[in-house]
Amino acid sequence: MKLVRRWRALRHRRIQSALAIAAIATAVVLPVVLLSVGGGVAQHEIHALEHSGYQVTVSAPGLHGVQAAHPLASRIDAIPNVASASPVLSAALDSFPGRGGSSPVLAEGVIPAAFSATEGPEELGLFPRPLPFSDPGDLRFFANGTYQGPPVLEAMVSSPFADAYGVKVGDLLTLAPSANATLGQRFTVVGLFGTPASALGPIAAFAVLLPLSELQQMTGVGAGTPGSSIDGADTIQVALAGAASTDAGAIRSVAQSIAQIVPYYGVGALTDQAAQLRASAAVLTGFYLALSSVGLVVGLVFLALVLLRRVESERRVIGVQRALGVPRRQIAAAWLRSSAVLGGSGALGGVVGGIVLVAALARWGQGAVAVAAGLAVFDPITLGELVLGVLALGSLTSLLATRAALRLPIAEALR
């Protein structure tokens, strides 16, 4: 009831109150936008890391630096708790679809069965399972590292590429390491795969998936000098089995076992990367709050001035209250309530305004802005803490008004 009475009292100073509330609300919009969008993007990245389908990655210096990828994957497969190790080689190729001309595509060379076993939830919806390659273990052409086996020459192509060039399953597609088509080979399209609907980074919309050994041979990292093979890859993605895939200790133990096999390679546990990302997100939250503090400080100084102004205009009322013996605590509480009403209204208005602004950016923003806004997460705890923070700072500003009210000379105020 007291708050309702204070709200009615505020109507007497409608413009000043409205402007103070508007200023605080505007200032609160900024941390709401930054925290929700920044937090949402960080959560999205952490979720992607934690649900990627594999838990450990192996990489090496140099271009396609991982050597002897097939046998290394087999050695990693033998480590306890490892479900599958999938070597991946990425390279840009030129494709020559039937309609003429060439188009660059991102080619990924994989061992089909191992790749399927390390797919995350998102990839599961994009790729058929099992992959429609006739040699799921990539053994035929690899032929124990000789690269002399019968070529498979099968490829899967991304849906955007297939749509753009009218490529269908069963068609032949020439792929070459450069724009020189005579260096290319003709692959049979055995399937299509989707690409993610949206992402913050660039999307390889035009992509092909090939057996690892055939892409290695095409890019010059397959058979090396006679008697030795390079068998290169960019990374090996390692999926753990069952409960171990969510056990940080087991993941770290597997990473250490791999590091003992290839001590010069980079072996990273995605759980560690997720932890680093969380720490970075915490630093960013501090940065967002620091950036927002300018507007909040101005808004709170504003609130203090409005309250002081009200003390001036209500000096007679305050004088009467004090002359009648109203306790100081009661007068202070009244000013605290005024500040809470103004600050609270502003903070709540700011939260609503921030949510509306983020929704507008997600709906009408362009490119990465719309994507980032679409990932925003409005954490009730964070927003609640923000509102409480504004209320707490607002109550500090009421101290100035209270001090001024309690120091009014009664006789002068009544005159």
Partner 1 sequence: MRFAVDAIRRRPGRSAATTVGIGLATALVVILLALSAGIQTSATRLATASGIDLLATSANTSIASGTFPPLGEAHSISSSLKGADGNVVAASPWLVTSLAYANASLYGAANASRNGTPVPPGWAPVAAGTVGWIPSANAGLKVPEPLVGPGFSSSGDPHYANGSYAGPVTRETEVDQGLASLLHVAPGDLLWVSDRSASGPSDLPHWFANASAFRIAAVTQPFWLIPSALLGFFYLSELQALTGSAGPGKDYASLVLVHLSDPTNPSSDQALLGREFPSLSFFTIGNVLTVVQQSVDLYRTFGTIVGVIALVVATLFTTTILLMSVEDRSRELALLRAVGFSRSRVGLFVVEEGFLLAGIGLVLGLALGWVGATTLNQFLDGLVNGLPAGFTFLSFDATVVIGGAVEVALIGVFASLGPAARAMTLPIAAELRAP
Looking at residues 198 to 217 of the shown chain, list those that interact with partner 1 (rule: CB under 8 A): 202, 204
Q: Is 389 in the site for partner 1 (CB under 8 A)?
A: no
What are the backbone angles phi and psi of residue 175, rounded to the nearest 5°?
A: -125, 135
What are the backbone angles phi and psi of residue 236, rounded to the nearest 5°?
A: -125, 125
Which residues share a beta bridge with 176? Answer: 94
Tell the smallest beta-carbon distance from residue 149 to partner 1 (Å).
21
Which candidate, 267, 271, 272, 274, places its Cα nearest to that of 85? 267
Q: Is 61 in the site for partner 1 (CB under 8 A)?
A: yes
Instruction: Give DSSP secondary structure letters for 388-399.
Output: HHHHHHHHHHHH
Q: Is 264 in the site for partner 1 (CB under 8 A)?
A: yes
Q: Is the preceding omega at residue 130 within 30 degrees of 0, hence cis?
A: yes
Cβ proximity to partner 1, 23 vs 334, nearer residue? 23
Looking at residues 18 to 37 of the shown chain, list those that interact with partner 1 (rule: CB under 8 A): 19-20, 22-23, 26-27, 29-30, 33-34, 37
Q: Is 367 in the site for partner 1 (CB under 8 A)?
A: yes
CA angle (23, 24, 25) in 5-degree steps: 90
Looking at residues 87 to 106 of the shown chain, list those that interact with partner 1 (rule: CB under 8 A): 92-94, 101-104, 106
Which range touches partner 1 (CB under 8 A), out of 136-144, 184-192, 304-312, 325-333? 304-312
Q: Is 226 in the site for partner 1 (CB under 8 A)?
A: no
Count residues contacting partner 1 (CB under 8 A)? 67
**Cα–Cα distance measured from residue 309 to residue 184, given in angstroms and rounded to the nearest whole number:** 81
Q: Is 162 in the site for partner 1 (CB under 8 A)?
A: no
**Cα–Cα distance measured from residue 388 to residue 246, given in angstroms and rounded to the nearest whole number:** 36
**Cα–Cα distance measured from residue 295 to residue 409, given in angstroms and rounded to the nearest whole number:** 35
User: How do beta strands 154-158 and 235-240 pair?
Assistant: unpaired
| Contacting positions for partner 1 (CB under 8 A) | 15-16, 19-20, 22-23, 26-27, 29-30, 33-34, 37, 60-68, 72, 92-94, 101-104, 106, 177-180, 182-183, 202, 204, 220, 230, 232, 261-265, 291, 294-295, 297-299, 301-302, 304-306, 309, 357, 361, 365-369, 372
